[in-house]
Amino acid sequence: MSAPPILLIEDTPSLQLVYDAIIRGAGHAVICADTADAGLTGFKTHKPRVVVLDLMLPDRDGLELMRECLALNPDARFVVITANGSINRAVEAMRGGAYEFLVKPFDEGRFLAAIDNALRDHVRPPEETPEVLNDFRGFIGSSDTMQDVYRRIQSVSRSMATVFITGESGTGKEVCAQAVHDSSTRAGKPFVPLNCGAIPSDLLESEVFGHLRGSFTGAIADKIGAAAAADGGTLFLDEICEMDLNLQTKLLRFLQTSTIQPVGATRARKINVRIICATNRNPLEEVRRGRFREDLYYRLQVVPIHLPPLRERGEDVIAIARDAVRKFAAEEGRRFTGLAPEVEALFRTLPWPGNVRQVINVMRNVVVLNDGPLVTQTMLPLEILHHHEAMTNNAGPVGLPPEKPVVSLDGLMGRTMAEIERMVIEETIARHGGSVPKAARVLDLSPSTIYRKREAWMKDAAE
């Protein structure tokens, strides 16, 4: 049996002709419709696997038509088309069941890739009761909240849609981005991560889009930016809310046109990358405060993935701690085999403000300084034991910071201002679970400033 035709619903005659020619040129049969009613009739008659749908139709709303068709056949894959000014409509379509969306104008390669991916995704075995995973592409844990995350990653990985990852610091946002990439058809292509908060704002454009030699002071050679390095693969923009507003405008243009123009270049060129971004802030709050462009937010927030904090993941903290002990013991040549029961009981009660990163750091500390065979309470770092003691003595609600202590200058007297600055910065980072962005907000500094200072301190220590 021949495959069902692709249903193309587009009311502009010239565009319908172009799309029809491209699809037929790729070897697919096509049925065309120029109204919602004709599209619905074609959907019922030909039962297409893939529908290419323009959201702006003369007789009915395209989203309404898509919902009606999906009610008839939930397995159909819809590739929706929208204009630049209707990104929020495309986002609504994705949340309503669309497989992919394209923003006009788009190139032929992107158009055919969306259709081919939709066709490949359509034919897959029926789902039985979802398998409970104990680990998934770098994640450890079998809690219900993480099962939802695993399934969402598997689902979105088949699409080319932009993914927006949110979650507290230390929850594994880069692990999530890598998992989306590794589960996708781009797995064999580059995965390029870029921390927007770790790069000075005046250099970030060059890091993203590249530059030509001589384009600015210090540009002694051509540089390929992260976007070009990720061509064919995935570009991961971490701490996206730290990006300068001027660069946000250029990023929006890049997302709309799929073209980059290195600093100093006179011509733009096309590239093919998938964007995944992440933040530990509330992006909508950043939009309300004017620190993040609203149109960029809606262009990026196509498929959101929220990573839950560790305190909401139940027994996962035990699985993560056991896994970390096993790995670090093998690395360090120690005899650890697991956790003592009282340590497991303690770990279940702690709020873990630094999330998975904090647990891993605690386990590394224990393994490096001790030799096992079980992790006991006496081996734990003092801050963990102090927190447990404060909770036991009802010092305050779990997860809330303690009341501000009386400030003492005893430990600062006799030190230089440079030493005091380093002590304050490092202590603030430690009190916020190792998160530089959180410490930066408390200290009213740019995260890039803290990263530069820490790099300078490391160089001084090495010398």
**For residue 409, what pLDDT is reported?**
57
Could you tell me the sign of the dihedral formed by the alpha carbons of 383, 386, 391, 397, in that order?
negative
Q: Which residues contact 460 (CB under 8 A, 6 or more apart)?
A: none
DSSP state of 153: H
Looking at residue 125, its pLDDT comes to: 47
How buried is residue 90: exposed, middle or buried, by Cβ count under 10 Å (0-12/13-18/19+)? buried
Which backbone phi and psi does 323 adopt, to 5 degrees? Answer: -65, -40
Could you read off the pLDDT of 214-248 as tens digits, one per residue? 988 888 999 999 999 999 999 999 999 989 888 89
3-state secondary structure of 259: strand
Residue 104: HSE in the Cβ half-sphere, 13 Å Cα cutoff: 13
pLDDT confidence band for 122 (50 / 70 / 90): low
Dihedral sign for Cα atoms in the order 61, 67, 70, 71: negative
Phi and psi, residue 82, nearest 5°: -145, 165
Whether pLDDT at 380 is above 50: yes
- Residues whose CB is less than 8 angstroms from the CB of residue 227 and which lie 6 or more positions away in sequence, other chains included: 208, 209, 210, 235, 254, 260, 271, 273
pLDDT digits (tens, 9 = 90+) for 242-252: 898 888 998 99
Q: Which CA distances in Å does 27 have to 6, 13, 114? A: 11, 21, 15
In angstroms, the first-to-last Cα distance of the chain is 73
Cα 324 versus chain centre, distance: 23
Dihedral of CA atoms 441, 446, 450, 456 in degrees, nearest 10, equals: -170
**Predicted local confidence at residue 405, as pLDDT:** 45
What is the model's pLDDT at position 257?
A: 85
pLDDT of the residue at 45: 94
Residue that is written with structure tokens 């937010």 in the block? 297
pLDDT at 206 > cutoff 60 = yes
Determine the 3-state secondary structure of 364 from DSSP.
helix
Q: Map out the domains of the chain with their CATH numbers.
A: 6-122 (3.40.50.2300), 135-306 (3.40.50.300), 310-392 (1.10.8.60), 417-462 (1.10.10)
For residue 105, pLDDT over 80 is answered with no
pTM above 0.75, yes or no: no
Show Cβ contacts of residue 114 under 8 Å, excluding neighbours closer than 6 positions: 79, 99, 100, 102, 160
Radius of gyration, alpha carbons of the chain: 26
What contacts 372, CB < 8 A, 6 or more positions away?
A: 329, 334, 335, 336, 337
pLDDT at 217: 84
Q: Which residue in 421, 441, 430, 420 sits closest to 386, CA to CA?
A: 430
DSSP code at position 230? T
* pLDDT: which is higher, 37 or 129: 37
User: What is the distance between the alpha carbons of residues 71 and 74, in angstroms, rounded to a whole number?
Assistant: 6
Tokens representing 19 are 């799309």
How far from the centroid of its chain's Cα atoms is residue 137's Cα? 14
DSSP 8-state assignment for residue 234: E
> Tell me, what's the pLDDT at 83?
76
pLDDT for the residue numbered 39: 95
Out of 79-88, 89-98, 127-136, 169-178, give the one with best mean pLDDT.
Answer: 169-178
In degrees, rounded to 5, the angle at the alpha carbon of residue 116 between the alpha carbons of residues 114 and 121 is: 95
pLDDT band at 462 (very low <50, low <70, confident <90, very high): low
Both tokens assigned to 42: 């074609």
Question: How far, in Å, CA of 231 to CA of 395, rounded?
Answer: 53
CB proximity list for 134: less than 8 A, separation 6 or greater? 140, 141, 142, 319
Closest CA to 356 of 399, 312, 292, 410: 312
Q: How confident is the model at residue 406 (pLDDT cuts 50, 70, 90)?
A: very low
Mean pLDDT highest for which of 4-18, 98-112, 378-392? Answer: 4-18
The more confidently predicted of residues 100 and 193 is 193
Alpha-carbon separation of residue 383 from 315, 358, 362, 430 (angstroms): 22, 11, 10, 10
| Residue 442 confidence (pLDDT) | 82
pLDDT, greater one: 433 or 409: 433
pLDDT at 392: 61
The Cα-based distances of 400 to 275, 326, 430 in angstroms read 35, 31, 16
Answer yes or no: are the C-beta atoms of 451 and 198 closer than 8 Å: yes
Residue 263 DSSP label: B
**21-73 pLDDT, tens digit each:** 999 999 999 999 999 999 999 999 999 999 999 988 999 989 999 999 998 99
pLDDT above 70 coverage of the chain, percent: 90
User: Percentage of residues in the chain with pLDDT exceeding 90?
Assistant: 50
Q: What is the pLDDT of residue 68?
A: 92
Alpha-carbon span 282 to 288, nearest angstrom: 10
Residue 221, pLDDT score:
92
Tens digit of pLDDT for each residue in 419-460? 888 888 888 888 877 787 778 878 877 777 887 788 788 777
Residue with tokens 């647990």: 359
Number of Cβ within 10 Å of residue 129's Cβ equals: 5
53 vs 392, more confident: 53
Q: Tell me, what's the pLDDT at 200?
A: 84
- Supply the pLDDT for residue 40: 94
Q: What integer best gives the mean pLDDT of the chain?
A: 86
Q: What is the mean pLDDT of the segment spanning 126-145?
A: 79
pLDDT at 401: 44
